[in-house]
Structure 1
Amino acid sequence: MSESSRNDTAEQAEFRQYCREWLAENKPSDPPVRLPQSALEIMTEPQLEYLQAWQKSAYEAGLVGCDYPKEVGGGGRKDCQRVANAEMIAARTPFLPNVIGLGMAAPTVFYHARDELKQRLLPRLFSGEDIWCQGFSEPGAGSDLASVQTFAERKGDKWLINGHKVWTSLAHFAEWMIILLRTDKSHKYDGLSYFVVPIRSALGKGVTVRPLIKITGETGFNEVIFEDLEVDDSYRLDELGKGWQVAMTTLLHERGAGELQSPRSGGMRSKSSHQISTSTLIDLARNTRRGEGVAADDPLLRDKIMEQMIYEKGFEQNQRRNRVQALTDHPMRLALQNKLLASENAQQISELAMEIAGAGSSLYLSDENAPAGGQWPLSYMNSFGMTIAAGTSEVQRNILGERVLGMPKSK
């Protein structure tokens, strides 16, 4: 019995067995195209189509949206999404492409939208038929999110949106965006409101999406320009001026609160995906030539890999605290810890992989001699974005210190 299944309820144990059996029979074969390392770097229609087909299959089998009520398209189960996530990761299935929809939009819509909007939007979000993106950051508002200036002006029961969002992952494929807007310029926090807006149907009619090319050559990021985009007031979530409070729901889930999201790791071990973990570090060390031997013969490298394994195991054990009520009294406590540690862990693993690969770490995706198909340099470059996205590591430490530990605010 695995450690993750020891504390299963009867329902969870039955569901876990069902997931294992279904995945054993329905795990898709290797894709016909190279997949990116995460959903946030999907660049081509063939990549998206393959992954959307997988998410729809998993959703129809009951492995996605498990914990949401049936009336909004969920499975009506209790605390079973983490079971499905764990089994998908163990089976090394492809990742689910609608990661922003599942991890951020779904809980926000569920907790703050009108019933009619939930019932309309969530089933197609769970199935992956509608891809979602997040409109928070702007050229002048990133870490200071409350300074967003994209403005929504009321016109009867409509709103006209004008402004500029940036670093918008998946916007080039997204049907919908969750967006934080300024509706009152006289108040910083109380002047914010939260909407969901259709962007694909508005391309060229109030919405422009421009890809941003990263140092890796990927185009997962975008900037989105709004010019008199008209949306109905029914797309507003919660009360006018309550956007900051709604945004906190989004951010808590983005930073790891709850299990109402897709598995964030995993991936089939093939030419088309890359699993970032200490097990892959060990494989790399065993297969990287060093003189007469291999990198794994170096005692200093073995020691560093062991330290990384200890860190990873500690992180796994820390996540178990999410199931202890006494430790979840503060909504930010574990969510921010997990986000901080996970992003820095990915950076540490990638940096160590570059050291293990040695000169081979300079070879990139297009080089047939590159270790692991050149995926490690890609991981290394992408890892720096992970410690910035959803709030920098410095911001996470400040919030933990000030709001969780009660320390004085930094000056």
Structure 2
Amino acid sequence: MSESARKDTPEQAEFRAYCREWLAANKPGEPSVRLPQSPLEIMTEDQLSYLQAWQKSAYDAGLVGCDYPVEVGGGGRSNCQTVANEEMMAARTPFFPNVIGLGMAAPTVFYHAREDVKSELLPRLFSGEDIWCQGFSEPGAGSDLASVQTFAERKGDKWVINGHKVWTSLAHFAEWMIILLRTDKSHKYDGLSYFVVPIRSALGKGVTVRPLIKITGETGFNEVIFDNLEVDDRFRLDELGKGWQVAMTTLLHERGAGELQTPRAGGMKNKSTHAITAGNVIELAKACKRGEENSAADDPLLRDKIMRQLIREEGLKQNQRRTRVQALLDHPMRLPLQNKLLASEIAQQTAALALEVEGMRSSLYLADENAPAGGQWPLAYMNSYGMTIAAGTSEVQRNILGERVLGLAKSK
């Protein structure tokens, strides 16, 4: 029995047994298409269809949205999403495609939207039928998020939106976007308001989505241009001018505050994807030959480096467990920011170590049949930089931890 299971309440224990039994009978088979390493890199309809079908199946079985009220499409349970997540991770299921919807949009909509909007949008978000994206960054506003200039002008009971969002993951498949907009140009923070807006239904009618091709060849990023898009006022979240406060709800969950409440299954080991873990680097080291008899795993220096990564991963895992201790949550940003910062940098270090294990063959990419592990590790390393930038760069995270958590002087 796992340590988590030993601490289960009676409701959680019963639900865990149900999840385990259902997953044993319903875990999806090997996909016929190559899956991306992350849901943010879904590029084809075939990839999306496979992953959407899996999320819908898990939702119908009650493994998604467990802790949300039944009235908004949830399961009506208490502290059970963590259980479902743990069992899906243990079963090594595919990830869910609607990662932005589940991890950021759902809690933001739930805490700040009108009741009719919650009931309308959340069920299809949980099921994965509607994919969501996030409209925060702009060409002139990245780390300084409060400088966004995409403007919403009020006309009766509607708002007309004009502007430009960028680095918008999944916008090419998204039905809806959570978006931070400027509604008053005379105030930086109080001039911001928060909306949910339709994307797919407005293509060519006020919305243009253009892919941004990365050095990896993937097209998960997009830019989204708004040209007189009209949306109803009921899709405004919270009060006018409270957009910055609503955005903090989104960012706290993006940085990990709601991680244990968010269905983030992943780690399925198949020909299509490799989890970025030191354990998989060990497998890689055993497979990478050094001469006729030895492998990279026989190199004492590499063995030491891999062990250091295992220790870092275990330290991160134990730190994440602390989020269950209420007494340690006196500051809402402390543990989420720590975990986001460490998780992104540890993943980058692990991918870099894998390239060192591969040696010269780390220059071979996905299309080369001689590439170790199907060329997944060079791809993982290049993509790892996105994780140290998303939700605020590592430098921003350190500044926030230093200034707002530790009380240090502001950096200059």
Q: TM-score, normalised by structure 1?
A: 0.99
Which residue of the partner structure matches residue 353 of structure 1? 354
Q: How does 1:206-355 map to 2 (within 5 A)?
A: 206-258=206-258, 259-263=260-264, 266-291=266-291, 292-355=293-356
- Greater shift, 205-214 or 363-372, is seen at 363-372
Cα drift, residue 41 of structure 1: 0.1
Q: 1:317-343 CA distances to partner (integer Å, 9 max, x unpaired)?
A: 001111111111111011111110110
The two structures, once aligned, show a CA RMSD in angstroms of 0.8
Contact 2:252 2:333 in 1 (8 A): yes
Which residue of the partner structure matches residue 91 of structure 2? 91
Which residue of the partner structure matches residue 407 of structure 2? 406
**Which amino acid in structure 2 is aligned with residue 380 of structure 1?**
Y
Cα drift, residue 34 of structure 1: 0.2
Cα drift, residue 4 of structure 1: 2.5
Between the aligned partners of 2:331 and 2:60, the Cα distance in structure 1 is: 35
Q: 1:89-136 CA distances to partner (integer Å, 9 max, x unpaired)?
A: 111111000000000000000000000000000000000000000000
Aligned length: 410
Contact 1:209 1:225 in 2 (8 A): yes
Contact 1:102 1:260 in 2 (8 A): no
Q: 1:75-96 CA distances to partner (integer Å, 9 max, x unpaired)?
A: 1111111111111111111100
Between the aligned partners of 2:189 and 2:328, the Cα distance in structure 1 is: 29
Q: How does 1:25-64 map to 2 (within 5 A)?
A: 25-64=25-64
- Greater shift, 128-137 or 84-93, is seen at 84-93
Q: 1:373-407 CA distances to partner (integer Å, 9 max, x unpaired)?
A: 10000000000111001100000000011011111
Matched, 1:379 2:374: no
The 3-state SS of whatever aligns with 1:229 is: strand
- Greater shift, 267-276 or 68-77, is seen at 267-276
Between the aligned partners of 2:295 and 2:140, the Cα distance in structure 1 is: 49
Cα drift, residue 3 of structure 1: 2.2
Between the aligned partners of 2:173 and 2:36, the Cα distance in structure 1 is: 15
Cα drift, residue 12 of structure 1: 1.1
Between the aligned partners of 1:23 and 1:341, the Cα distance in structure 2 is: 30
Between the aligned partners of 2:217 and 2:25, the Cα distance in structure 1 is: 36
Q: 1:177-229 CA distances to partner (integer Å, 9 max, x unpaired)?
A: 00000000000000000000001000000000000000000000000000000
Q: How does 1:93-172 map to 2 (within 5 A)?
A: 93-172=93-172
Between the aligned partners of 1:304 and 1:272, the Cα distance in structure 2 is: 26
**Which amino acid in structure 1 is aligned with residue 37 of structure 2?**
Q
Runs of at least 4 residues of structure 1 off by over 4 A? none
Between the aligned partners of 2:83 and 2:408, the Cα distance in structure 1 is: 36
Identity among equivalent pairs (%): 82
Question: Where does the alignment leave 5 or more consecutive residues of structure 2 unmatched?
Answer: none
Contact 1:112 1:237 in 2 (8 A): yes
Between the aligned partners of 1:25 and 1:256, the Cα distance in structure 2 is: 30
Contact 1:86 1:263 in 2 (8 A): no
Between the aligned partners of 1:196 and 1:326, the Cα distance in structure 2 is: 34
**Which amino acid in structure 2 is aligned with residue 137 of structure 1?**
S
Cα drift, residue 368 of structure 1: 1.0
Between the aligned partners of 2:11 and 2:369, the Cα distance in structure 1 is: 48
Between the aligned partners of 1:254 and 1:5, the Cα distance in structure 2 is: 26
Contact 1:67 1:76 in 2 (8 A): yes
Q: 1:159-188 CA distances to partner (integer Å, 9 max, x unpaired)?
A: 000000000000000000000000000000
Cα drift, residue 262 of structure 1: 2.4
Cα drift, residue 274 of structure 1: 1.4
The 3-state SS of whatever aligns with 2:84 is: helix
The 3-state SS of whatever aligns with 2:153 is: strand
